[in-house]
Amino acid sequence: MSESAGRSRAGAAKEHRTVSRVTTILEAVAADPHGVRLNVLAGVLDAPKTSVHGLVKGLVANGYLHEHDGAYLLGPAVGALLAPPGNPLIDAARPHMRDLRERFDETVMLGALVGDSVVYLDTIESTQLIRYSAPLRKRRPIYPTSTGKCLLAHLPAPHRDEYLRAHVADPAERDRVARELDEVRTERVARNRGETVPDVSAVAGIVPSAQPLASVAIAGPTTRVADRLDEMAAAVREATTAISYRLR
């Protein structure tokens, strides 16, 4: 192993139990506009209520949660301290996402890498009655979504390899996935034919140089999109290049 690879692996992010519990609490509360009670949070964390209570009270004290009628909601610190003034990535991507939706009339999504998860930041849904609907601002597994494949393929090799070792147990399958990701990195697009959701296919392209690492995807029923994946791939590649120029 080279010295630089060793440094990169040594610097790879590691999960911390307390941090994971705090972020899980915030994400659970953010997902429910009516608030979440302590016993529910304890169940989500699979932890004693006494332990969770201490974390929750600390978040209340710092303004990241507030309590109302025994339930916890997001507090003012989230918007006052954490919300950026705007999101240049979403602003740059939305016109091109709209063009893709108008061209194919399938759901178009903007996804970003958040830790070891994919999070959809924005979506423009198909107007068709039967369509794919992407959950916004919720963590999803990286692999095998088309967005996740794209993001994973463009991670530094030590981080990508570490993810594969942790999430793909069979060595032969891990080698196959690694070869697929090499192709995705070369082509700048990834395909998914019913691997995540049965009867749904998708294609995703990387947004070059975006921070955070981001991808635009088109998804829809396999019966409608399977024969158009190559056409969609070319359109997504063109759109992500244009988005990258807008971000400069």
| pLDDT number for residue 13 | 65
Q: Could you read off the pLDDT of 188-216 as tens digits, one per residue?
A: 999 999 999 999 999 999 999 887 789 99
- CATH 3.30.450.40 positions along the chain are 88-247
| pLDDT number for residue 210 | 80
Task: For residue 71, list its beta bridge partners.
Answer: 37, 68
| pLDDT number for residue 79 | 75
Assess whether pLDDT exceeds 50 at residue 5.
no
- CATH 1.10.10.10 positions along the chain are 14-82
Lowest pLDDT segment from 3-7, 114-118, 185-189:
3-7
Assess whether pLDDT exceeds 80 at residue 27.
yes
Label residues 94-106 b or e (16+ Cβ within 10 Å = b).
bebbebbbeebbb
| pLDDT number for residue 76 | 81
Rounded CA-CA distance 177/161 in Å is 10
Q: What mean pLDDT value characterizes the chain?
A: 91
Q: Which CATH architecture best describes the domain 14-82?
A: Orthogonal Bundle (1.10)
Give me the percent of the chain exceeding a pLDDT of 90: 74
Q: Could you read off the pLDDT of 63-111 as tens digits, one per residue?
A: 899 988 899 999 988 877 776 777 899 999 999 999 999 999 999 999 9
Let me know: does 91 contact 214? Beta carbons within 8 Å.
no
Q: Which fold has domain 88-247?
A: Beta-Lactamase (3.30.450)
Q: Give the rounded distance of the alpha carbon of 206 from its chain centre.
A: 13
Tokens for 150, please give them. 């794209």
pLDDT band at residue 4, thresholds of 50, 70 and 90? very low
- Going by the DSSP 8-state scheme, the letter that residue 135 receives in this structure is P
pTM of the model: 0.76
| Cβ contacts of 220-228, under 8 Å, gap ≥ 24 | 220/104, 220/106, 220/107, 220/126, 220/128, 220/131, 220/132, 221/130, 221/131, 221/132, 222/193, 222/194, 223/199, 224/106, 225/104, 225/106, 225/201, 226/193, 226/201, 228/104
Give me the percent of the chain exceeding a pLDDT of 70: 94
Rounded CA-CA distance 193/229 in Å is 9
pLDDT band at residue 12, thresholds of 50, 70 and 90? low
Rounded CA-CA distance 104/87 in Å is 26
Assess whether pLDDT exceeds 50 at residue 10.
no
Continuous segment of H or E residues that includes residue 217:
strand 214-221
Continuous segment of H or E residues that includes residue 236:
helix 229-247
More confident residue, 137 or 151: 151
